[in-house]
Chains A and B, each alone.
Chain A
Amino acid sequence: MPRRPVVKKEYTLGERVYLVEIAKGLRLTWKHFVFNIKASFQKGPHTVPTCWQYPEDRREIAPIFRGAHMLQLNDKGQELCVGCGMCARACPAKCITVKRGKPAEGEEDKYAGKTMCSTFEIDMLRCIFCGNCEKACPKNAIVLGQDYELAEYEPGLCIYDKKRLISNFLKAKAEGRLKPPPAPIPIDAPPVKKKAAVKKTEPGKTKAKGGERAEKGKGTSVKEEDKGPDK
């Protein structure tokens, strides 16, 4: 590459005297100063536009934020988790341990499914908050919530057990911060396209459908084969 010759900028007299330039700079900082002083007297969650006073003001968290996990209950207060272990399989960090069990006699009302998880542990020190467990769950039982202050005084406390995960859910429910349930996957969405384009899209569409089915089939097969994904 040919080198460009360095052209030294010739300063004008005003720039060389320097005082005018300083005055311009002072004007700029003054603008910022006045703007921020005014902003600090405005009422609102934070005092200066670019600063949040963290413990008092918190940023709004997006509904799809992936924070601390929780195990959901349905409207009747029954546990949704059936202990299938899909989440443990999907987890790339291998931080979930699930053991499937049968509900004890007389306690069948506590669980939505025929089976339940006898243990459910998430090692939060290993979790990478990818959200795969949430996607893999066939019952929408495990969900990533909006809590992000997860520091503990001891490493042992970072392994969340079932009790804690359910209490996370109850807390989020009480504060009204639950995620809306995922929208059902549209299977029979009518193709709203021009006639010429219909032919082209059809094979792709069927493929997608087939893929979905295959996934579902795979899911159920795993469910039947695995009697407890203890690895």
Chain B
Amino acid sequence: MADWQIDLIKVVFIWAWALLIAVVMTWVERRASAMMQDRLGPNRAGPFGLLQPLADGIKLFTKEDIIPERARKILFILGPILFALPAFSTYAVVPFGDKIVIGGKEIILQVSDVNIGFLYVLALSAIAVYGMVIGGWASNSKYSILGGLRATAQLISYEVPMGLALLTIVLLYGTFSLREIVLQQQGTFLGFLPNWGFFKQPVGFIIFLVAAYAEANRVPFDLPECESELVTGYHTEYGSMRLGLYLFGEYVNLVALSAITVSLFFGGWALPYVDMGKFLGPVSYGIASFLVFFLKQAFFLFLFVWVRWTVPRFRYDQLMGLGWKALIPLGLVNLFVTALLVQLTT
């Protein structure tokens, strides 16, 4: 097989996989939230209600597509696409497994090992904001524009701490490539702790996680949609599959964000203390590394759901206060200390 064929297979596989997880996540979100609130959740369509996302999808596709009068048509159509596309594209640089050897050929389980993978992720997450802002501003509605404004302010203020947290990781590992970072996280340090970013950068991890929740517009930072104040915020005027793209893009975003979290802070595909490559065959090692990565990712996906149904929404000024007055100073101090330590130890 030629290289481009392998690449194509990888692209299609990871695209379908991300889609599948996102679809299942919509189901998990509803069932898990039901279980946390002593309800049952959707359980009629298929076994355990597993076909519910399918039913929802069919419903969204068959609904009438309405573009409100005096909305900016082109921008209105562009909004959901701009929102969903970056979410899908983020997965291109995520190392979702180590490597698999088929037919004497070594295949790296990553769509492309870009040496600036890091910046790519940051850039795409910044583009996704435009989807929300444009969608909100183009739909000629008060709720939408308020949602769009909030999205702008919130995402500007949370990009900064996120960048600061990620910079510490770059300082630690000295590279922008996500695969390199994962490779450097194998083994242990201080004798017993896994060599994970989480143990080396706990403060950075917390800042990153909080910023990721704000980035994904999840409760407690779901101010752009904010059901109780803004109907549904930036996508109030949307219907049919355009709305579906927004809702679905949110879950794809979650999948991508938790994948980034795992590969930056939790050692990616590697198990702590155990080197799987020693006792597994080349093919089974590839599959095992993929599964380990997925399990870690699944935990963070569940954490998104778990936090959503536990914590109430922040007030707008509290959100801004937390971003500018707590996270950014904390991130700066953390960056300074990390830089100092890295300078002293090397």
Q: Does A28 lie within 8 Å of B310, measured CB to CB?
A: yes
A50 interface residue (CB < 8 Å to B): yes
- Kindly state the separation between the CA atoms of A22 and B322 in the bound complex, as whole angstroms: 15
Looking at B35-43, B148-156, B248-256, B267-275, the stretch in contact with chain A turns out to be: B35-43
- Kindly state the separation between the CA atoms of A201 and B306 in the bound complex, as whole angstroms: 65
Min C-beta distance of A33 to chain B, whole Å: 5
Q: Does A36 lie within 8 Å of B310, measured CB to CB?
A: no
Q: Does B37 lie within 8 Å of A26, measured CB to CB?
A: no
Q: When A49-B38, A51-B40 are in contact, do A22 and B310 touch as well, CB less than 8 Å?
A: yes
Q: Does B307 lie within 8 Å of A51, measured CB to CB?
A: no
User: Scoring B residues 192 to 236 as 1 if CB is less than 8 Å from chain A, else 0, what string do you get?
Assistant: 000000000000001000000000000000000000000000000
Q: Which residues of B contact A19 (CB under 8 A)?
A: 206
Min C-beta distance of B322 to chain A, whole Å: 9
Q: Does B38 lie within 8 Å of A48, measured CB to CB?
A: yes
Q: When A29-B306, A53-B40 are in contact, do A22 and B35 touch as well, CB less than 8 Å?
A: no
Contact-residue size bin, chain B (C-beta under 8 Å from the other chain): 10 to 19
Q: Which residues of B contact A29 (CB under 8 A)?
A: 36, 306, 309-310
- Kindly state the separation between the CA atoms of A48 and B311 in the bound complex, as whole angstroms: 23
A37 interface residue (CB < 8 Å to B): yes
- Kindly state the separation between the CA atoms of A113 and B327 in the bound complex, as whole angstroms: 88
A58 interface residue (CB < 8 Å to B): no
Q: Does A26 lie within 8 Å of B40, measured CB to CB?
A: no
B276 interface residue (CB < 8 Å to A): no
- Kindly state the separation between the CA atoms of A122 and B110 in the bound complex, as whole angstroms: 74
User: Scoring B residues 303 to 329 as 1 if CB is less than 8 Å from chain A, else 0, what string do you get?
Assistant: 000110111000000000000000000
Q: Does A51 lie within 8 Å of B36, measured CB to CB?
A: no
Q: Does B35 lie within 8 Å of A36, measured CB to CB?
A: yes
- Kindly state the separation between the CA atoms of A32 and B32 in the bound complex, as whole angstroms: 10
Total cross-chain contacts (CB, 8 A): 42
Q: Does B39 lie within 8 Å of A51, measured CB to CB?
A: yes
Q: Does B36 lie within 8 Å of A26, measured CB to CB?
A: no
Q: Which residues of B contact A30 (CB under 8 A)?
A: 306
Q: Does A48 lie within 8 Å of B310, measured CB to CB?
A: no
When C-beta atoms are compared, the residue in chain B nearest to A16 turns out to be: B326
Q: Which residues of A contact B37 (CB under 8 A)?
A: 32
Min C-beta distance of B240 to chain A, whole Å: 31
Q: Does B39 lie within 8 Å of A33, measured CB to CB?
A: no
In the complex, besides A22-B310, A33-B35, A48-B39, 4 extra interface pairs with C-beta distance below 8 angstroms are A36-B38, A47-B40, A48-B38, A50-B39
* 29 sampled A-B residue pairs with Cβ under 8 A: A19-B206, A22-B307, A25-B310, A26-B310, A29-B36, A29-B306, A29-B309, A30-B306, A32-B35, A32-B36, A32-B37, A33-B35, A33-B36, A33-B306, A36-B34, A36-B35, A36-B36, A36-B38, A37-B35, A40-B35, A47-B40, A48-B35, A48-B39, A48-B40, A49-B38, A50-B39, A51-B39, A51-B40, A53-B40
A residues within 8 Å of B by Cβ? 19, 22, 25-26, 28-30, 32-33, 36-37, 40, 47-51, 53
